[in-house]
Structures are given as C-alpha cells and as structure tokens.
Structure 1
Amino acid sequence: MEWKVRRKILTPDRERPWWEHSALAPSPLLRGETIRIYVGGIAADGVSSIGYVDVAANDPSRILGISQEPVLVKGRPGMFDDNGVFPASVTRVGSQVFLYYTGFEICEKIRYRMFGGLAVSDDDGETFHRATEAPVMDRTDEGLFFRGGPSVEPEDGRLRAVYSAGSAWEFIGDRLRPTYDIYGSISADGAVFPPAGRPLLARQAGEHGLGRPQIVRADGLWRMFFCVRTPDLRYASGYAVSEDGWDWTRRDDALNLGHSPAGSWDSEMVYFPNFIDTGSRRYLFYIGNDFSRGGFGYAELASW
C-alpha cells in the first residue's frame, strides 16, 4: 500500500473529567461531511468510557468538535463491563448505528476478563443505549477469558463478523499478558452470534496476541486490519486478504505502515487500526505510543 499523508489528530488535553488520557481504539463513522471517531478515554481512576471526536471528512486533521460527556460509560457493579468500556467498531445496521465495544471486568484469580458488548443509537450516533446488559459475545470454549472486539460487514442479507478470542495468559517479562487469535462467524442481525466461530488467523512465532480485527470489502477482496502484540511491546498493525471471507492470507508487509522514527508520536506503537472509505478518500485511523497517551491519528491511502 501507498499512503499519501500520516498525521496525528489529537493528544487528550485533560479538560474533561472522564477523559484524563488515551484515545483507545478509534472507530470512525461517516456522517455526511464529518467523520465521528469514537474513542475510549481513560479517567484518573483508570476506568475507560467512550466519547468521540468529530473531524472533517476531507481533512481528518481538522477537528470540528469533541464530546463533553461520554456516550457510553461502565456497566453496573457485577456486570461484564463494570470496570470500563472502549470501542471495537461502529457500523450502520438498517436505520440504527451499532457500536460494538469491549467491556472489562476485574478478576481475583486472573487480572481481568474482556467480552464484547453492543450499544445501539437511534439518532445517528448522538446517544446510545445498551442492547443488553449481557455480552453479545460471551464466554464460550473458544474464548474463556477474552471474546469480542467484533467488526461486521454486510454480505447477502447477513453480517460477516470477525473477532478475537482466547483462553490463556503468558508471562511477558515479569507480567502476565493475555493471548488471543482471530475468528470469524456469520450473524443474521448483528446482535446474536453463534457460540463458536471458525479460526481465521493464529499467532505466529514472536506474537502473543492478534486482536480487534476490522473487516471491509474493497476492490473485489475481503480485507482485514488487526492488532499485533509482541513481547517487546512495540505493538503494530497487521493486514490480511481473502477472496471468500474464510480463508485468509497475511500480508503484513503490504500494509507498509511501520513505526515512525524515534521521537515521533507513533514511533513505538501503530495500533488499533480501523479503516473507512468516505467515497472520495480512504483512511486508516490508529493510535500511537503508550496506548495513545501520545495521541491518535490517521494515514490516507493512495493505493492498495
């Protein structure tokens, strides 16, 4: 791939109590001449909520507005998302906007669990309500500790979904970190998913996680962007292609979006990639260093 420009959009300014730092997992929604980017902002207590940044569709470096309050906050005590939420993806389904999100739950025997939730908007992404307080991607044998982060794309009247799932932890340095791979399934309505999907992409040597995949259909191919976690913590983005949506070939080198030179906002992380086609321009949004404490930005695609 060739990229025209690569720019930072925003570093959180700590002006909002719910948003002390970070802009996790940017998820864009086209709204006319504006792109609304939903992000996970972390408060001083370490708990994340979901808000948004509005940018110009013809120039995402131009900020048009920032939500003063979050559109989705943590769940009630005891729920799967009672210790924070951040976006997985956002898409239009009929007249509604579906915001898939990851919910965190602190545990005693392990550090935490993560499962996938769904919030729905009936007013074009201004406000959201939970479709259910339970996960729409809950614990099953393919993902006992982690299962979620879905992205969906229409296909023949149904929705093709990709997501991550895992059931183990590994010591990376002196700290346990989760491991997971990428799976796929088909949903009739985007709210109910099968209890098990089909494995699509597995970790390779030197990787401890493939997560938060984003699927798009573009120029005759299914294309997937995803997170690649490695022991050196210089997390990167991966890329794969498929003709049928089930058999995938990794082409990470073709992504051509590596870490920037030392000192740049994205010199250590190019993470949480999310692609959008506005009809006239194509962008990949992603976060930078230290899980976006250094900000988030985008690259504009020139050609595949």
Structure 2
Amino acid sequence: MWKKLGLVFCPEGTSEWMSSHATVPTPYHLHGDLWRIYFSTRDSSQRNQVGYVEVEIAETVKVCSVSQQPVIPFGKLGYFDCDGVYATSLVKHRGLLYFYYAGWNAGRDGIFYSAIGLAISEDNGLSFRKYTNAPVLGRDRVDKWAVMAPFVQKLAEDNWLMLYTSGIELYHDKDGQLKSLYDVKSAYSQDGLEWFKTGETAIGLEEKDTNIARACFGVEDGKFKAFYPYVSKALGNYRIGYAESADGLHYTRKDEHNLASSLCVGPTLSWDSDAVTYPHVFEHKGKFFMLYNGNGFGKTGFGMAVWQE
C-alpha cells in the first residue's frame, strides 16, 4: 500500500510569478538522493509557468532549493501557449531533455483551448528553449476542443509513445455551470519531434466518472501500467486510478486495485482532504515513490508517498 510521506512543497506567494499552486509534479534524477521536481505554478493573474524545487529523498524528504525564475515562459501574444504552460512529461534523449507541455489560451466564459508543445534543454534542465512556437500536437478532427496533459515514453530509439488527455465535450449543466468531459488517447513518433495520432481512446470514461487527466505510464515485465487522476461523479473531485495494457494503446481500468485505491484523501482540513490527483510514480534506490497533488488542483502544493508491500 502507499504510505504518505507528507506535504513536500507549497508556494508561499513570495514571488509574483510563483504566487500559488505547484501542479502536476514531474521528477528528474540529478545524482545520489537529489531530485529536481518540476511543477506548474501560477502568477497573480492565474497564468501558468514552470518552476522547480530540488529535494533530497533519504530517510526524510527535504527541500534543498527553489527556482528563482521560470524555466519555460509564456508564448508570444496570440500563440497557443500565451496564457500558460503546464509541463507534464520529461524524457532524456541523446544528452538533451525533452519537456512536453500543454500550452493554453483563455476563451470566453471560463472556456480554454489547449495544445501540446515541446521544450528542449541543453543544460540538464536548468533552462529550456521551445522546439517550435507552434504545437507538436494540436486540435483537429480527432480532438476538436482540447489536447493536453501529455506523458511520453521512449520505448526504443525510433519508437516513442504518448498518452494525452483529449477534450471530448464542453456543456452547461442544469444549473448553468460549465462542465467538461475528457479521456486519454494515444500518439506515436519515431523521433519525439513529429507526432501522429492513433485516433483511438487508450483509457476511456466509465459511468462513475467524467474526466481523466495526465496518465503516467511505464513498462514492467512486458506489461504497461498507468496511473491517472479521474473525477468521481459521486464525490465531485479527483481520485487516483490504475490501468494495465498489453500493447500500451488499449488499457483495462482497475481503479479498485490497491496500487491506486490505497492512496486515500487525508483527514479533515488537511492539504489533501478533498482530493488526491496528478500522480507520477518513479523509482529511487529500489523503492517506488508517488508524487501527487491534493486540494484545489495543486493550490495546496504537492506531496509524496512510498509503496510498501
């Protein structure tokens, strides 16, 4: 089961660009016990940029340093990422770091539009340059509203797989509240730069939920295993799900599996009392750890848990 290690980091509003939120934590191993955890933060105007903290994972989890400026800035006015950047997947390739992100534009009445971009680092992740000012994966006949929350694995030098969140529908409920539906679809590439959509759903919605966000997946013993957040209709908030696949393209959901269900919300008034969401599972010194957000889509920061048999 998952044993919680507590809240790791939450912005304290000491800088304008990192005013609140540490959403979708994404790990990168530096050396020894030192890891850099990237996240999407918000400025005072609720626009997103990417920052990081460096942490030591040993007997305890200790924050060692915090970035002083964003590593991926906004796009130019009118570009697909001019209102915010959510970086959600990091891949090491030929001495470079590829950071896949969702850029978004604000629309009217709470609507937003998003597409997937790529930023590349040549200095081990201290800074990133955008591969192109255009999306590497955008809206089209497959994804008509939104393309976001990419997670990428390089399965072989010429075989890259992406799972991404696909916006299915926007609608107003009976009370006039804006609601959304989205699931997870797949794309493939030979070089990590040019991407092609399969057009098929990888992880689909069920009767119990309305949304599935960033799916973090890996391969173990020839089986693809994915962790993801889903919005429960009954609870109206995020919980963590788990699915398995033989080919990486079509997953069977097993949300009641202990790998997901054992990470429960915290006690009343705690930082994760309402939601557990945006999981990222990684291995460190033979143990599996999970980074995750709690309440308010990362407003209360991110925490960590360790898997114990």
Q: TM-score category by the smaller chain?
A: over 0.9
Contact 2:17 2:49 in 1 (8 A): yes
Equivalence for 2:105: 105
Give 2:293's aligned residue: 287
Instruction: Please give the secondary structure, in 1, of the residue aligned with 2:83.
Output: coil
Query: Within 1, Cα distance between the matches of 2:40 and 2:272?
Result: 18
Q: Distance in 2 between matches of 1:89 and 1:156?
A: 17
CA distance in 1, matches of 2:122, 2:137: 22
**Matching of residue 277 in structure 1 with residue 291 in structure 2:** no
Deviation per CA, 1:43-67, whole angstroms, max 9, x where unpaired? 1111111000111133562001100
Q: Which residue is equivalent to 1:202?
A: 204
Q: Which segment is superposed worse, 22-31 or 191-200?
A: 191-200
Specify every segment of 5 or more residues in structure 1 that has no aligned partner in the other structure, as ranges: none
Q: Which residue does 1:301 correspond to in 2?
A: 307
Give the AA of the match of 1:169: L
- 1:23 match: 22
TM-score scaled by structure 2?
A: 0.92
User: Residue 213 of structure 2 aligns to a residue in which SS?
Assistant: strand
Q: 2:218 aligns with which of 216, 220, 229?
A: 216
Rounded to whole Å, the distance in 2 between the matches of 1:59 and 1:280 is: 14
Per-residue CA shift, 1:36-89, capped at 9, x if unaligned? Answer: 111111111111110001111335620011001110121101101111112221
Letter in 2 for 1:162: L
Q: Percent identity?
A: 27
Residue identity matched to 1:239: Y
Whole-angstrom CA distance in 2 between matches of 1:164 and 1:103: 13
Which letter does structure 1 place at the counterpart of 2:212? L
Q: Which runs of 4+ in 1 moved over 6 A?
A: none
**Per the alignment, in what secondary structure is the counterpart of residue 297 of structure 2?**
helix
CA spacing shift, 1:59–1:240, aligned 2, 3 Å:
farther
Supply the distance in 1 between the matched residues of 2:12 and 2:48 (Cα, whole angstroms): 16
Q: Is the 8 A contact 2:86 2:149 kept in 1?
A: no
Letter of the 2:231 partner, please give it: R
Give yes or no for contact 2:22–2:300 (8 Å, CA) kept in 1.
no
CA–CA distance in structure 1, aligned partners of residues 197 and 140 of structure 2: 6
The answer to whether the Cα contact below 8 Å between 1:140 and 1:195 also exists between their aligned partners in 2 is no
Cα shift at 1:19: 0.7
Q: How many residues are treated as equivalent by the alignment?
A: 302
The 5 Å alignment of 1:186-201 reads 186-201=188-203
Distance 1:150 1:189 in 2: 16
Q: Quickly say closer, same or farther: Cα 1:29–1:235, change in 2 above 3 A.
A: same
Task: Report the Cα distance in structure 2 between the residues aligned to 1:32 and 1:198, rounded to whole angstroms.
Answer: 38
Q: Give the C-alpha shift of residue 219 in structure 1.
A: 4.1
1:22 deviates by 0.6
Instruction: Give the secondary structure class of the aligned counterpart of 1:28.
Output: strand
Question: Relative to 1, partners in 2 of residues 1:110 and 1:264: Cα closer, same or farther, differing over 3 Å?
Answer: closer
Structure-to-structure mapping, 1:151-300, within 5 angstroms: 151-157=151-157, 158-171=159-172, 174-231=176-233, 232-254=235-257, 255=260, 256-300=262-306
Counterparts of 1:178 and 1:144 in 2: how far apart (Å)? Answer: 13
Q: Which residue identity is paired with 1:164?
A: T
Q: Is the 8 A contact 2:90 2:100 kept in 1?
A: yes
Stretch deviating more after TM superposition (224-233 or 267-276): 224-233
Whether the 8 Å contact between 1:24 and 1:87 is mirrored in structure 2 is no
Structure 2: which amino acid aligns with 1:36? R
Aligned-partner Cα distance in 2 for 1:18–1:54: 18
Distance change in 2, residues 1:110/1:41 (3 Å): closer
Say whether the 8 Å CA contact 2:23–2:39 is kept in structure 1.
yes
Native 8 Å contact 2:169 2:180 kept in 1: yes
SS at match of 1:44: coil
Describe the superposition over 1:232-254 as per-residue Cα deviations: whole angstroms up to 9, x where unpaired: 43211211111221231111121
Q: Check whether the contact 2:23–2:301 (CA below 8 A) recurs between aligned residues.
A: no
Which is further off, 217-226 or 98-107? 217-226
Match of 2:37 in 1: 37
Secondary structure of the 2:82 match is: coil
Aligned-pair RMSD on alpha carbons?
Answer: 1.8
8 A Cα contact 2:188 2:197, kept in partner: no
Which residue matches 2:6? 7
Q: For residues 174 and 56 of structure 1, do their structure 2 counterparts lie closer, same or farther at Cα, with a shift above 3 Å needed? A: farther
User: Deviation of residue 109 (structure 1)?
Assistant: 7.7
